[in-house]
């Protein structure tokens, strides 16, 4: 072996072995079941008080379902839609209703199919500072000429997140 090759191997080996010394574990906040349940029940109760029959889903940091509630007499599709709204909000770190505008502004986005992503209002990201730790979505509020259903869904989510605002610091 040439001495140049040996030196290159020695340098590469030194770099590889030195990397773990500077590696760190990630420190992050995640939603607890209790917090997710408070968000979901508050959102469901807020919508129920307004005469809406909805389902609510709270997803965690990686889009996994933490809590899913189906309100009394909520239509069957509301379970899936509340999840898809929450998943979209978590994935893109935006209110799910913003996807509607993004698709309008860029029609090519509508042609891209991503599993569980939906352009529909009714979900908000759950944030600690600028870190998105989950999202909550509601589906089922009735659309009227005065108010779209998604806006009502989103208002219920907002109430749920507001209930735990002191925990999201």
What is the rounded distance in angstroms from the CA atom of residue 89 to the CA atom of residue 59? 10
What residues make up the domain containing 48?
Answer: 33-167
pLDDT of residue 15: 63
- Entry pTM: 0.84
Q: What is the pLDDT of residues 45-58, one digit of tens each?
A: 999 999 999 999 99
Q: What is the pLDDT of residues 124-166, one digit of tens each?
A: 999 999 999 999 999 999 988 777 899 999 999 999 999 999 9
Is 72 within the bounds of a domain?
yes
Is 10 within the bounds of a domain?
no
Is 26 within the bounds of a domain?
no
**CA distances to 27, 39, 50, 143, 159 from 165, in Å:** 21, 10, 22, 28, 10
């Amino acid at each position: 072996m040439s001495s140049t090759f040996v030196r290159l191997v020695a340098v590469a080996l030194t770099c590889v072995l030195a990397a773990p010394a500077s590696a760190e574990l990630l420190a992050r906040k995640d939603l607890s079941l209790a917090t997710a349940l408070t968000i979901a029940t508050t959102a469901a109760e807020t919508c129920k008080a307004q005469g809406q029959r909805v389902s609510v889903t709270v997803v965690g940091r990686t889009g996994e379902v933490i809590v899913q509630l189906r309100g009394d007499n909520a239509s069957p599709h509301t379970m899936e839609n509340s999840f898809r709204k929450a998943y979209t909000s978590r994935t893109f770190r935006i209110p799910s209703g913003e996807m509607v505008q993004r698709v309008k502004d860029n029609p090519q986005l509508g042609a891209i199919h991503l599993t569980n992503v939906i352009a529909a209002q009714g979900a908000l990201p759950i944030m600690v500072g600028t870190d998105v730790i989950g999202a909550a979505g509601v589906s089922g509020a009735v659309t009227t000429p005065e108010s779209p259903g998604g806006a009502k869904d989103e208002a219920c989510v907002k109430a749920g997140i507001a209930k735990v605002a002191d925990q999201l610091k």
